[in-house]
Structure 1
Amino acid sequence: MTAQRQERNRNRPRTGFRPGMALIALLAGLAAQVLVGPAAQAATTERVVVNRFSGLAIEGFDPVAYFVDARPELGVEDLEASEAGAVWRFCNEGNRAAFVAHPDIYGPQFGGYDPIDVARGVTVAGNPRFWLISGRRLYLFSREQSRDAFAADPEHVLREANARWQALLLELAE
């Protein structure tokens, strides 16, 4: 930088606004909306929570294992079944057969969405690592605090969630 330019910049009041940086930030924001926006939206517009790249429900965990083994177990690629537009994986053939016979019992309630958020009228994908079986049904939660709040008063949460679920289903994609 020349001495004249340095002197001119030193005497110029600093406003904190830098047009070049503002343009870069604007372009980055637009790119994020174009690239990430549809992905984030797609993850919360399905009737059953699935990985948008693999089509796997509940991240490949075996839904029957929550009942049988009382813990999340990853299923295997050789033992899969399709139900409700999702691919479900299982640890063994017995779990697969049980799910195929009764997907409404073994599949996570509210399509795998967090019942606390469903009760608030929004769909937030549950995490298969935060789970609870209540009333012989599997519920997945987006965070540990939601699971704890549900466990404290499941009847109240389910009353609110069931009241809002049908309207949310209408908003979710087929």
Structure 2
Amino acid sequence: MIALYWALVAVMVVGIVGAIVPGIPGIGLILAAVVVWGFVKGFAAVSVALPVAIAVFVVSIGVDFLATYWGAKKAGASHWGQIGAIVGFVLGFLGFLPTVPIGGPIGIIIGILLGPLLGAIVGEFLYRKDLLLAVKAGMGIVVGSVLGNLLQAIFAIATVGIFLYTTVPTATGS
């Protein structure tokens, strides 16, 4: 039982990383680990951690959208820039960016980081025909996304901390 507990904590650590790094499951992974522990030990064991994890999961979805929107709005980006950022993310994740000749996980991470920026710039440029405005809008979208990811990381760390605080004594028999 203790091995399962620490394996779930390891999954939660991956969830913390995923809250920061796009393309890796984040807070949803933490929520899933809490639910698994609830099934194993009974949901009374996660009576504090589960509602916190659910609330943080819902809030993190909102943070994702609002941070990107805020960054885009502050930089004056249009919907074309936002759509371009999404397309750029998908292309970067799939490794279709010509600027990413490196394959494997490193290439995917680079593509995930560069894709939204390049996509936002291309989308804005197609809409406005002004490269300077397009770059400014692209940077705004990326800055908003990064700030949102950092906020999600703080939420993820807090959620795992609450889980550990409320479950370690019963999981380890202390």
Q: TM-score range by the shorter chain?
A: under 0.3
| Bigger strand fraction | 1
Q: Which has the larger radius of gyration?
A: 1
What is the TM-score normalised by the length of structure 1?
A: 0.24
Task: For CA contacts below 8 A with separation 6 or more, give which structure has more relative contact order.
Answer: 2
What is the TM-score normalised by the length of structure 2?
A: 0.24
| Bigger helix fraction | 2
